[in-house]
């Protein structure tokens, strides 16, 4: 209930995604219970919690990636800019163009770097001419901080890059369609510290244009990159607050226990 | 706690025994490797023996003996009216010309039986060869020409040395008198053994020296074409639907089990089905590659579906997620990403299915493709036979010379199979992508 109080005090901020009473069931398993969470525009919100706590499940609700899982059922209300994303009339393809996603393991398509970035704009009809696509590819790679490293080998396969570069390629691919929200599911868990630092820097830069939700297992990372942090435990949203507040003065003792390493 | 560990440790760690254990492990590894190598050696040896014995038997079929005769193209006999009409020319008694030439070569053969033996030295296809010559250029009429004619099967075998001279005459297919003629002809340079091109360019024949494999090869080609055109799209679409779109319920489980069962159904059952449905119910032409291909497509479908599903399943889920996350629809995910990545596997499965279909005989027996067909099929509705059936027909023929033809046909079939499998490997390498 602390979460709701917090939400009211933040009324001044611009709410991008509004979730009310979100429940997710995998068959008989009640994976996510009554989550009320607001995500504010142009901020990084990190979701933390022990494994299996439902943070990834919640993240995947935001662009309906749970739809493809058999037996998965979502109830409650999630609204993006006030539009219910689980509305029957809403087209999931268009939703995913507005809410992009970066996955835990870098997963570039086994195509050229150019085609990797151009894929989204192509299927969404954002760029039809070669020069339009060229421009989108260049600007996306620039924004992902990858342009200088790869500009001479855009025709080489994306899978030939290093892990960190691949992940930045995936971020570039996600921002190529100019989404409003970018979801990141543990984007650095497969990367070394240097690559992680680059991605974190990138996330901070992207915040000016996008709303970012990031799931992370690293509390230091949450503290470094996010403005707000939500702590999940056993499918319940335990606490959500300013990141500083969560890490210095959590109001719930479960949060306290988790961030001090007593469980998780 | 510490005591327990101290007690347990000596029982597990026995440095004094580890030496023996190590050598036992190494010995076991060596043994296992040896058994594996022996198994491979046995398999390769058996295959090698098979191919070698077939190849040795097939060698005589790749050459053919020819006998040169001075043929007098007598205008009075070919075209007494002098009209040079094609029909007249075609129907003329060219066998008579050959007989005359033989008679002229061996004038002292007078006995009727001996004369028949003499005429029998030249293949019955000789007349047709002369007819073709005349039809192509009728100015040869009236002239006398030295023409190389195909030797009949027994004489051919003798010339190639397959019939030994030193066995008693009554146990020999070629009699002394014939040997004498051959020797005379050979002495005058009128006998030649050449590469057997007609074997690769002509259709079947009752005469071994005239029989060729091309008709069956073309029949196999048309049949496989029909099989591929039917089974590939149906197989890939079924696999894609079952793997990517179908809900997982009792019905799809049932379908899956039945597809797997279908793969194990004996092929002759598909032949019976083809006979009952395609021929008797739909009234499609008998002995035609169309029906043969349809029956083989039924047989190949499960193979393609199972291979394609395995290939689709092997595409990493991360690629699907990436595409879905970019806002690709399910069909776009399938056609842009999953299918291209699964293509090598699908193609390999398809070619293996095709190779299986190429070697299949039983279902085709049921729909009449076992018939004796001389003409080379020109389309999918012409009567035709296929390579394995041709092998079966020749193996069943009484003439000795068909033994070599059978082996040669097997070699041709094997060559096609090797070619197809090589194609599968090449396709695999070409379409393979790493991620």
**Mean pLDDT, residues B327-352:** 91
pLDDT in tens, A188-199: 888 888 889 989
Contact A109 B325 (CB under 8 A): no
| Domain-located, residue B206 | no
Beta carbons of A239 and A231 less than 8 angstroms apart: yes
Report the DSSP pairing between strands A181-185 and A211-215.
parallel
Mean per-residue pLDDT, A77-96: 89
Domain boundary among B201, B223, B245: B201
By C-alpha distance, the chain B residue nearest A179 is: B326
Whether residues B293 and B416 fall in one domain = yes
Average pLDDT, stretch B253-259?
92
pLDDT digits (tens, 9 = 90+) for B166-208: 888 888 888 888 888 999 898 988 899 999 998 999 888 888 8
Percent of chain A at pLDDT above 70? Answer: 95
Pair (B180, B308) in one structural domain: no
- Point out the domain boundary residue: B201, B233, B267: B201
Mean pLDDT of A157-167: 89
pLDDT exceeding 90 applies to what percent of chain A? 50
Sign of the Cα torsion B234, B239, B245, B247 reads positive
Residue to substitute from B327, B330, B331, B342, interface A, most A β-carbons within 10 A: B327
- Residue B121's contacts (CB-CB under 8 Å, 6 or more residues apart) are B67, B102, B151, B152, B155, B178, B181, B182
- What are the b/e assignments for B376-395, b being 16+ CB within 10 Å? bbeebebbbbbbbbbbbbbe
- What pLDDT does residue B276 have? 93
Q: Is residue B304 part of a domain?
A: yes
DSSP β-bridge partners for residue A184: A102, A214
Across the interface, of A63, A93, A107, the residue whose CB is closest to B318 is: A107
Residues 6+ positions from B261 with CB-CB distance below 8 Å = none
pLDDT at A128 over 90: no
Interval B337-346 mean pLDDT: 91
The pair phi, psi for residue A76, each rounded to 5°, is 100, -170
Please tell me whether residues B26 and B90 are part of one structural domain.
Answer: no
Using DSSP's 3-state secondary structure scheme, residue A30 falls into: strand
Domain of residue B15: give its range: 2-59
The answer to whether the Cα torsion of A40, A41, A44, A49 is positive or negative is: positive
Q: What is the pLDDT of residues B43-81, one digit of tens each?
A: 999 999 999 999 999 998 999 999 999 888 888 888 888
Contact assignment for A94 to B327 by CB distance below 8 Å: yes
Q: Are residues B218 and B361 in the same domain?
A: yes
Is-contact A64 A85, C-beta < 8 A?
yes
User: What is the number of structural domains in chain B?
Assistant: 3
pLDDT at A88: 85
Mutate to test the interface with A, among B245, B249, B323, B325 (most CBs of A within 10 A): B325
Q: Is residue B207 part of a domain?
A: no
B360-406 per-position pLDDT tens digit: 999 998 888 888 888 888 888 898 999 999 999 999 888 888 999 99
Question: Is residue B156 one of the residues assigned to a domain?
Answer: yes
* pLDDT greater at residue B110 or residue B29: B29
Give pTM, 2 decimals. Answer: 0.82
Same domain for B237 and B274: yes
Kindly state the tokens that stand for A94. Answer: 């268009």
Residue-wise pLDDT for B287-332, tens only, equals 899 999 999 999 999 999 999 999 999 999 999 999 999 989 999 9
Q: Are residues B159 and B231 in the same domain?
A: no
- Chain B residues whose C-beta sits inside 8 Å of any chain A C-beta: 248, 316, 318-329, 332, 336-337, 341, 433-435
Are B7 and B69 found together in one domain? no
Judge whether residue B216 has pLDDT over 50. yes
Residue B385, domain member (yes or no): yes
Cα–Cα distance, B274 to B266 (Å, whole number): 13
Q: Are residues B52 and B68 in the same domain?
A: no
* % of chain B at pLDDT higher than 90: 45
Confidence of residue B233 (pLDDT cuts 50, 70, 90): very high
Residue B43 lies in a domain: yes
Nearest by CB to residue B337, choosing from A100, A109, A173, is A109
Q: Which residue has the higher pLDDT, B170 or B410?
A: B410
Q: How high is the ipTM of this complex?
A: 0.86
| CB pair distance less than 8 Å for A157 and B434 | yes
CB-based contact B89:B128 (threshold 8 Å): no
CA-nearest of B93, B100, B81, B88 to B135 is B88
Task: Select from B147, B178, B201 the last residue of a domain.
Answer: B201
Structure tokens at B6: 């101290």
B209: in domain: no
* Average pLDDT of the residues of chain A: 88
Residue B293 and residue B253 share a domain = yes
Indicate whether B195 and B278 sit together in one domain.
Answer: no
Choice between B410 and B18, residue whose per-residue pLDDT is larger = B410
Alpha-helical (H) ranges within B212-278 are 214-240, 250-262, 267-273
Q: What pLDDT score was predicted for residue B433?
A: 63
Contact A109 B332 (CB under 8 A): no
CATH code, domain with B316: 1.10.3720.10
The average confidence (pLDDT) of chain B is 88
Residue contact A119–B319, C-beta within 8 A: no
CB contact under 8 A, A107 and B332: no
Residues B229 and B372 in one domain: yes
User: What is the rounded CA–CA span in Å between residue B350 and residue B302?
Assistant: 10
B131 shares a domain with B271: no
How close does chain A come to B336, measured CA to CA in Å? 10
Strands A236-242 and A228-233: antiparallel
Q: Which carries the bigger pLDDT value, residue B351 or residue B84?
A: B351
Q: What residues form DSSP beta bridges with B192?
A: B66
Test A109 with B319 for CB contact under 8 angstroms.
yes
Instruction: Give the pLDDT confidence score for residue A127 in this predicted structure.
Output: 75
Report yes or no on B243 lying in a domain.
Answer: yes
């Amino acid at each position: 209930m602390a979460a709701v109080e917090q939400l009211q005090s933040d009324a001044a901020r611009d709410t991008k995604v509004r979730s009310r009473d979100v429940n997710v069931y995998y068959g008989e398993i009640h994976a996510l219970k009554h989550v009320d969470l607001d995500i504010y525009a142009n901020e990084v919100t990190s979701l933390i919690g022990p494994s299996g706590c439902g943070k990834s499940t919640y993240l995947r609700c935001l662009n309906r990636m749970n739809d493809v899982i058999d037996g998965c059922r979502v109830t409650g209300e999630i609204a993006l800019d006030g539009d219910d994303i689980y509305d029957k009339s809403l087209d999931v393809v268009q939703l995913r163009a507005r809410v992009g996603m970066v996955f835990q393991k870098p997963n570039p398509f086994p195509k050229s770097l150019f085609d990797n970035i151009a894929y989204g704009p192509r299927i969404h009809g954002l760029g039809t001419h070669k020069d339009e696509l060229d421009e989108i590819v260049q600007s996306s790679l620039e924004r992902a901080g990858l342009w200088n490293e790869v500009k001479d080998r855009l025709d080489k396969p994306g899978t030939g890059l290093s892990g960190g570069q691949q992940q930045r390629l995936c971020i570039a691919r996600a921002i190529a369609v100019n989404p409003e929200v970018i979801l990141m599911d543990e984007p650095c868990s497969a990367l070394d510290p240097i690559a992680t630092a680059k991605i974190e820097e990138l996330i901070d830069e992207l915040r000016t244009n996008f709303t970012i939700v990031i799931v992370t297992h690293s509390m230091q990372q949450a503290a470094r990159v996010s403005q707000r942090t939500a702590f999940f435990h056993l499918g319940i949203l335990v606490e959500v607050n300013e990141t500083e507040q969560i890490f210095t003065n959590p109001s719930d003792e479960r949060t306290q226990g988790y961030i001090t390493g007593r469980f998780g | 706690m510490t005591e327990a560990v101290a007690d347990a440790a000596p029982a597990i760690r026995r440095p004094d025994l580890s030496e023996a254990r190590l050598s036992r492990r190494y010995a076991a590894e060596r043994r296992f490797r040896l058994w594996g190598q022996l198994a491979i050696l046995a398999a390769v040896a058996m295959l090698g023996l098979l191919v070698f014995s077939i190849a040795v038997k097939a060698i005589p079929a790749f050459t053919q003996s020819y006998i040169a005769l001075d043929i007098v193209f007598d205008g009075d006999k070919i075209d007494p009216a002098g009209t040079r009409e094609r029909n007249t020319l075609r129907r003329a008694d060219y066998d008579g010309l050959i007989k005359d030439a033989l008679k002229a070569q061996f004038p002292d053969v007078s006995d009727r039986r001996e004369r028949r033996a003499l005429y029998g030295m030249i293949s019955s296809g000789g007349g047709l060869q002369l007819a073709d010559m005349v039809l192509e250029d009728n100015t040869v009429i009236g002239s006398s020409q030295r023409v190389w004619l195909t030797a009949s099967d027994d004489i051919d075998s003798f010339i190639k040395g397959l019939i030994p001279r030193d066995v008693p005459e009554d146990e020999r297919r070629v009699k002394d008198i014939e040997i004498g003629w051959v020797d005379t002809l050979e002495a005058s340079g009128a006998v030649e053994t050449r590469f057997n091109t007609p074997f690769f360019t002509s259709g079947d024949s009752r005469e071994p020296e005239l029989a060729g494999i091309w008709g069956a090869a073309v029949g196999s080609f048309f049949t496989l074409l029909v099989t591929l055109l039917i089974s590939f799209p149906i197989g890939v679409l079924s696999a894609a639907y079952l793997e990517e779109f179908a809900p997982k319920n009792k019905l799809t489980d049932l379908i899956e089990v039945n597809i797997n069962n279908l793969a194990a159904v004996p092929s002759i059952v598909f032949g019976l089905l083809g006979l009952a449905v395609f021929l008797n119910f739909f009234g499609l032409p008998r002995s035609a590659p169309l029906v043969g291909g349809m029956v083989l497509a039924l047989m190949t479908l499960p193979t393609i579906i199972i291979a394609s599903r395995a290939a689709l399943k092997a595409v990493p889920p991360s690629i699907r997620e990436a595409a879905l996350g970019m806002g690709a629809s399910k069909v776009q995910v399938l056609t842009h990403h999953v299918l291209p990545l699964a293509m090598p596997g699908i193609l390999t499965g398809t070619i293996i299915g095709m190779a299986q279909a190429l070697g299949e005989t039983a279902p085709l027996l049921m729909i009449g493709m076992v018939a004796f067909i001389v003409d080379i099929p020109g389309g999918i509705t012409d009567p035709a036979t296929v390579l394995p059936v041709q092998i079966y027909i020749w193996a069943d023929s009484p003439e000795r010379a068909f033994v070599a033809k059978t082996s040669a046909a097997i070699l041709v079939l094997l060559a096609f199979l090797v070619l197809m499998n090589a194609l599968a490997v090449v396709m695999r390498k070409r379409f393979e992508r790493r991620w």
